[in-house]
Structure 1
């Protein structure tokens, strides 16, 4: 009986053609760590010689594939799951991109605290330069509420009647907005927008003041933004 079993096992092993994809899948599952356990076979169920032969051949194939995978890992070619080894990416603290600059194509800007500002009052100047005429323009300035900040006026080098101007006080900032009226065009060149305000006595810190400009020239929209340098 045992001789017959051995003879049939050898014949089955010689005729066996391993399913490589299934083997690799089994190796991956085995190396992935403990997972779900296969269902237990019913007790006292005798296995036929064919099942014994198949199990022996499959075990041989899995061991061979496992050895190849281990050799590949040690050689640095791939990880156990068959994934090509990669170089680590940049550290998580690396910025995703540069901040919005004070220049966008034909539009440029610069913010500065006016040198005539004093311990009770200040003026924030935004100089806007454009290489082409503008058919739309909105400029918003946020003056951080550092204490006692209160509107005292505003002006622009462009005609007053060409803009709608609003000032909106808030708990965290005093917001100025200049909006070009429909049908009006801003000529190419350099233009100044200024906001004036009182503030608590002493040197005021403009570090949290910000402005944003959105404009359209020759059908192209441009956006610039920035903060303010100290009075000069």
Structure 2
């Protein structure tokens, strides 16, 4: 492509030079015209030629001059005209057309998300529903055996109490177990049994001690919903007051918790202790407050 352009440039330059070098001989042309006109006055034998012949010679000379100028002008115009490349056309693909039923399709359903939590919750924190709960998973250890039902809230370093949370309602409830210990515990099992009074199903659980310190299970057994927390081997519970809570749905209306119970079994200073009891009815708690 570059070589072809160089050839064109060289040809254009030579034509420019030829056009500029061409100089019509004006004097010679005028002399011929004058001779033609003077021929009319001659008296020799050429004077007898018709006048028309003289004018024909003038016209021929003029035409010759005009032709030479036209040829020269055409050559110059051909040399200096732009070397414009031919126009090109580009095929453009048509814009995509949306399927007619694209706007009638329903939006994709949002993916379900599962929230897991296990942070501690203070006993006086609202529980309708709790923001942080722990759930039994398929990888959880097998459910512990049912502990015997006790009716003794104090034993050795232990003191305990069971109550239905005041934030419970006609469809949902929470049963709280408060544990106090005056010494460090090296073993601890807390078990809550909620009687199946109709529509009872677990909605979660929580404890004020670290979640990672316990194995937790919730199962249905012998007409009860059973929540069990077992302190992991090598973990300890310092002295203080701690809360465990089980949460559940139930049939609409005031639920009777008279058949519910809890049992706590611990080891402290190498000695085993156990406490347990039942849950005060929700109406009784509201009357006390």
Aligned residue number for residue 252 of structure 2: 201
Write the distance in 2 (CA, Å) between the matches of 1:133 and 1:170: 32
CA distance in 1, matches of 2:205, 2:258: 20
1:187 partnered with 2:238: yes
2:192 aligned with 1:141: yes
Alignment of 1:30-179 (within 5 A): 100-170=151-221, 172-179=223-230
Query: How many pairs are equivalent?
Result: 134
How many angstroms does 1:230 deviate by? 2.5
Contact 1:145 1:171 in 2 (8 A): no
Residues 104-124 of structure 1: per-residue CA shift (max 9 Å, x gap) = 011110000000000000000
Query: Which residue of the partner structure matches residue 262 of structure 2?
Result: 211
Higher strand share: 1
**Cα deviation, residue 101, structure 1:** 1.1
Once residues 203 and 242 of structure 2 are traced to their aligned partners in structure 1, the CA distance between those partners, rounded to angstroms, is 21
Long gaps (5+) in structure 2: 1-149
Cα deviation digits, residues 63-101 of structure 1 (max 9, x gap): xxxxxxxxxxxxxxxxxxxxxxxxxxxxxxxxxxxx741
C-alpha distance in 1, partners of 2:176/2:231? 18
Superposed CA deviations along residues 18-62 of structure 1, whole A, max 9, x for unmatched, are xxxxxxxxxxxxxxxxxxxxxxxxxxxxxxxxxxxxxxxxxxxxx
Cα distance in 2, alignment partners of residues 138 and 115 from structure 1 = 25
- Which residues of structure 1 form unaligned runs of 5+? 1-98
Larger radius of gyration: 2
Higher RCO (CA 8 Å, separation ≥ 6 residues): 1
Q: Is the 8 A contact 2:151 2:278 kept in 1?
A: no
Q: TM-score, normalised by structure 1?
A: 0.56
RMSD: 1.0
Task: Identify the residue that residue 271 of structure 2 maps to in structure 1.
Answer: 220
Q: Give the TM-score normalised by structure 2.
A: 0.45
Q: Name segments (4+ residues, structure 1) moved above 4 Å.
A: none
